[in-house]
Amino acid sequence: MSRGVFVTGTDTGVGKTLAACALVHALRARGLRVAPMKPVAAGAVPRGDGWANEDTLALIAAAGPGGPSPEEVTPVLLREPMAPHIAAAREGREIRLDPLLDAHRRLATRWDFTVVEGVGGFRVPLGPSLDTRDLAVALGLPVVLVVGLRLGCLNHALLTADLVRSAGLRLAGWIANSIDPAMAVADENVAALAERLPAPLLARLPWSPDADPGDLAGLVDTPSLLR
């Protein structure tokens, strides 16, 4: 079995990519060759003579020189920034599981560790009978949950942790990301989750509109993740 983690979030916009990039930097600092992956991305920007997703490019930058290409990191790139099953339907495409798994296998044979970022939350539809949970289960990787610290995060985090467990996957850890600088009693919310989530807190990322994931890497408890 390949070494790696599947990064999911309590919702869209909670900082999964920032957390995934910080994880990549932290693992590289421990001497691991790390391949990031975002199998499905919705929302593309022009890049040279083609298109790319900004999250994909951030992950590639975190991997450093010699990392995988945008096509390897994101085998399914959809143009419009919307729910992926809707974006795919508008392009006349179908997102299928096997090509995503094949792409991950190719990365896993060439790198020591893979950090796979999901899309949206844990149950985002990818097709009529396929969602992000199915992808996570098929990959079989331990899950890292990114919790966006804002009102409602307790319920969202605990429900997602329950879904991860019911899918037969191990919650390897969670990352608290400060996305609302005005959130009241943030410390108490983190403490409440630490008491209730069956996994270690890997990092608490401070609020910053221009956060550099490389600077945040030192906050990530990679020994807990690699046990």
Kindly indicate the confidence band of residue 1, based on its pLDDT and cuts at 50, 70 and 90.
Answer: very low
CA atoms of 45 and 9, how far apart (whole Å)? 23
Q: Is 38 a catalytic residue?
A: yes
pLDDT tens, position by position, 155-188: 999 999 999 999 999 999 999 999 999 999 999 9
Residue 216 has pLDDT above 50, yes or no: yes
Pull the structure tokens for residue 93.
């495409």
Catalytic one of 25, 28, 38, 85: 38
Mean pLDDT score, 187-194: 98
Which sequence spans correspond to the domains of the chain? 4-226
Q: Is 6 helix (H, G, I), strand (E, B) or coil?
A: strand
CA atoms of 115 and 4, how far apart (whole Å)? 6
Q: What is the pTM of this model?
A: 0.96
pLDDT for res 50: 87
pLDDT for res 2: 64
Torsion of CA 2, 139, 137, 81, to 10 degrees: 140
Query: Whole-angstrom distance between the N-terminal and C-terminal Cα of the chain?
Result: 15
Domain 4-226 class in CATH: alpha beta
pLDDT for res 60: 97
